[in-house]
Structure 1
């Protein structure tokens, strides 16, 4: 007998009708009909069907917590189970789920009119690991954002990113096992003319199979995920797209005019390089409609979105283990550039400014140094490779590899070090803040940050190193 746990239509619709009588929310409407129940979506089982009612037309999101018993992102062949989500039989998004622990996810469903709707949850057998049998979902909540607010605007133009199907990787449904999209966010800035707003959308992938190598990712970016802006668009004072204003990040990090198709106001893009750049023609069967509702404070690095979604560090670390990108424990040495267990690293976010343009083949960067109480060795974030130092003046994340077992209490001082790439252009660097510093715990989740600092320390040709924190 085929069995599936689902919300019965009579109970759900009754609750939804009752919700229609409730006062309208100013910003968004949450449908209580799909809250508080666990749903099991199983292989060879009927799809789970969840009726709900939208009180006001708008852009819809679904929040949920998801687990896939028996899957493990760190184990080849057992990576994930995939749920394909449909709204009124319209394919909305895939959800890649890994591990026994329920992780919070937020996905977009697109524009929905006021009235009754049906959420259909399908176990995608062919996209899931052979040994996976089910996905457990709870805390399912549908929220609609009506026109008139900044959240609605950000959701209205969010792109839909199709999966990757590179022939050189040789497998279908590639984002179910590698470089999977994890979270997205948006940033809003003034546009190119008065009254315009520029919306930029970015995605965090679990890794990049091409592009920057793993040790350089840890040194230059402070993680082995891949973070890329994918799409931007300008809207006028009425919130309408300015024709011809939307661009996307194409192969080789080019910025190209978008010339593809839209689904409503949502541009359709596809991941078409091994380092997760976009094409504006879509062919892959998988698609990812991640909620871009999150944003980041201006004084935080892009990795702040990982910090506020700590489970992304777990997935990041597990992918490195499965793909053999972590050196053996017996070979671990902090002085070598090879990436060791990612729990051996101090994860630091630095704020700095450089007093002249810092581009081209010659530039001046900064590395972070850590000295422990136990000795005089200074462990450097760039592993003595100048090109792995921090070049950008945006708030920037990096990592410092330390001996296994090092804790916050073992650290004596932290330094900022001026690093010259090419010809010294005489640049002076002002280091003005450390936004956070933490280790990953045994579960690969970030531990509490123990390190913040504000000030103004200068490093120049005459004083190339300065202490920015001392115990």
Structure 2
């Protein structure tokens, strides 16, 4: 029955590293450690020597003159990366400004190897060159997480879609892993997650901003149990399939790397890969989420991801003009307060819907107006517990100094009210994006404990000078 359901879903969809650096030789035509890859030019090679068997990672500051993720026809340049002649990953470069990137090279044996970098098909017409500054190859000391990281094949929409679509939309940006103890003593469960620049299907843009505090898509991708020596435990590998179902992984491995494919417009996975897909992504998943923080904290660590996300909205026409916080449509991302807060929900006392929590902002110029993160929609508040991210749309030009207060607002997410209290214990950060869509320093921080109830559903959490 499970097998039939699995294949039915597939049919519906259509299918800062710690470690010693390896010895790296400077490639020909590289100046000051920069590798230049040109459209129509020769492939560039990077020899390196592995001091032991293990997982290797390549990192660089990547830029492509004339490229902008915000402009149609100039979205990105693509570099294909091979090790010893084997295609291992691709790099989508969405910016003319250098951005630090890190990619897995897979398992290598002790000895001499060669990385080959080619300007690849799928690059935008405006793209002609890629610069890779400070290029180096490393082998982390503890590579268990890298060893089992998934290879994610690009979305192709096979058989009628664009096989290079991840070079212009929903491109993979970041990956990370999280671990927890398994039921068997000494074993661990490793879960891998990824950040995409957006999602063409699934949650719409206004709801993403309200419910998740971003317009990227963040999904867990693959989960596996490993034993004390880091070996995969047979039968434990699962992945997030279409419709957000969890299926056992039955696809192929490259070493210990499962090969999956983004096969839906909301970036769920299939373990059946379409024929001859041109793009594949082995992102460096060695980092993990900061403890006690929302998943969006991985974006805060790489602020360029906010710019790429905003530029995709601009290019795809997903922003209302002019921005108006009185409507539920998505406005200019620079008009939003990007906030993260922590909450817990108590036990219900009646039948009905569980409460969500939204944030409200009042401005000094008009404290009678309350700008809500949920835009008045109950299902746009945050029902999940722990650290959660949201945004509050404000009038264009609002700065942190204009904010009079930030409030927590309890509201049932559906019919009825089950009476459960919601306790808010922190605001972890609050920032605006600058003119270039990059996060400004956080201007909000608060620690405490405020309990919201059916009788007292709102409370002020923060005012200027209150921490």
Whether 1:271 aligns to 2:262 is yes
Aligned to 1:52: 48
Write out per-residue CA displacement over residues 395-417 of structure 1, whole angstroms, 9 at most, x where no aligned residue. 10000000000000000100000
Q: How does 1:305-324 map to 2 (within 5 A)?
A: 305-324=298-317
Aligned to 2:428: 435
Aligned to 1:426: 419
Alignment match of 2:244 (pick from 253, 272, 288): 253
Write out per-residue CA displacement over residues 374-396 of structure 1, whole angstroms, 9 at most, x where no aligned residue. 11101000000000000110210
Alignment match of 2:150 (pick from 159, 184, 188): 159
Aligned to 1:142: 137
Check conservation: 1:34, 1:52, Cα contact below 8 A.
Answer: no
Partner Cα separation in structure 2 for residue 34 and residue 144 of structure 1: 18
SS of the residue aligned with 1:28? coil
Partner Cα separation in structure 1 for residue 195 and residue 374 of structure 2: 23
Aligned to 1:219: 210
- In 2 relative to 1, CA 112–326 (structure 1 residues): closer, same or farther, beyond 3 Å? same
Whether 1:104 aligns to 2:97 is no
Calculate the aligned-residue CA RMSD, in Å.
1.8
Alignment match of 2:284 (pick from 268, 288, 291): 291
The structural deviation recorded for 1:340 is: 0.8
Structure 1 segments, 4+ long, off by >2 Å, are 25-36, 167-172
Whether 1:384 aligns to 2:386 is no
Whether 1:454 aligns to 2:447 is yes
The structural deviation recorded for 1:191 is: 1.0
Aligned to 2:3: none
Write out per-residue CA displacement over residues 225-261 of structure 1, whole angstroms, 9 at most, x where no aligned residue. 0000000000112211110001000000000000000
Structure 2 unpaired stretches of 5+: 1-16
Alignment match of 1:187 (pick from 166, 178, 184): 178
Partner Cα separation in structure 2 for residue 85 and residue 398 of structure 1: 37
Partner Cα separation in structure 2 for residue 41 and residue 342 of structure 1: 33
Structure 1 unpaired stretches of 5+: 1-24
The structural deviation recorded for 1:32 is: 4.6
Alignment match of 1:228 (pick from 210, 219, 227): 219
Whether 1:394 aligns to 2:389 is no
Partner Cα separation in structure 2 for residue 206 and residue 34 of structure 1: 33
Aligned to 2:166: 175
Partner Cα separation in structure 1 for residue 233 and residue 151 of structure 2: 19
Q: How does 1:81-100 map to 2 (within 5 A)?
A: 81-100=77-96
The structural deviation recorded for 1:168 is: 9.3
The structural deviation recorded for 1:423 is: 1.4
Partner Cα separation in structure 2 for residue 300 and residue 445 of structure 1: 20
Partner Cα separation in structure 1 for residue 244 and residue 35 of structure 2: 41
Aligned to 1:444: 437
Write out per-residue CA displacement over residues 70-97 of structure 1, whole angstroms, 9 at most, x where no aligned residue. 1111111211110000111111100000
- In 2 relative to 1, CA 417–34 (structure 1 residues): closer, same or farther, beyond 3 Å? farther
Write out per-residue CA displacement over residues 143-180 of structure 1, whole angstroms, 9 at most, x where no aligned residue. 0124xx3xx11011001000001159842311000000
Partner Cα separation in structure 2 for residue 60 and residue 468 of structure 1: 46
Partner Cα separation in structure 2 for residue 357 and residue 302 of structure 1: 27
- Tell me the number of residue pairs that the alignment of Structure 1 and Structure 2 aligns: 439
SS of the residue aligned with 2:310? helix
Partner Cα separation in structure 1 for residue 132 and residue 19 of structure 2: 26
Check conservation: 1:34, 1:142, Cα contact below 8 A.
Answer: no
SS of the residue aligned with 2:174? strand
Partner Cα separation in structure 2 for residue 357 and residue 136 of structure 1: 57
Whether 1:200 aligns to 2:195 is no
Partner Cα separation in structure 2 for residue 119 and residue 386 of structure 1: 52
Partner Cα separation in structure 2 for residue 240 and residue 131 of structure 1: 45
Check conservation: 1:84, 1:95, Cα contact below 8 A.
Answer: yes
Whether 1:38 aligns to 2:31 is no
Write out per-residue CA displacement over residues 43-85 of structure 1, whole angstroms, 9 at most, x where no aligned residue. 1111011111112221100110111111111111211110000
Aligned to 1:75: 71
Whether 1:374 aligns to 2:369 is no
TM-score, structure 1 normalization:
0.91
Check conservation: 1:34, 1:141, Cα contact below 8 A.
Answer: no
Aligned to 1:13: none
Write out per-residue CA displacement over residues 311-347 of structure 1, whole angstroms, 9 at most, x where no aligned residue. 0000000000000000112xx2111111111000000
SS of the residue aligned with 2:98? strand
Whether 1:407 aligns to 2:402 is no
The structural deviation recorded for 1:28 is: 3.4
Check conservation: 2:22, 2:48, Cα contact below 8 A.
Answer: no
- In 2 relative to 1, CA 235–101 (structure 1 residues): closer, same or farther, beyond 3 Å? same
Partner Cα separation in structure 2 for residue 61 and residue 271 of structure 1: 22
- In 2 relative to 1, CA 461–26 (structure 1 residues): closer, same or farther, beyond 3 Å? closer
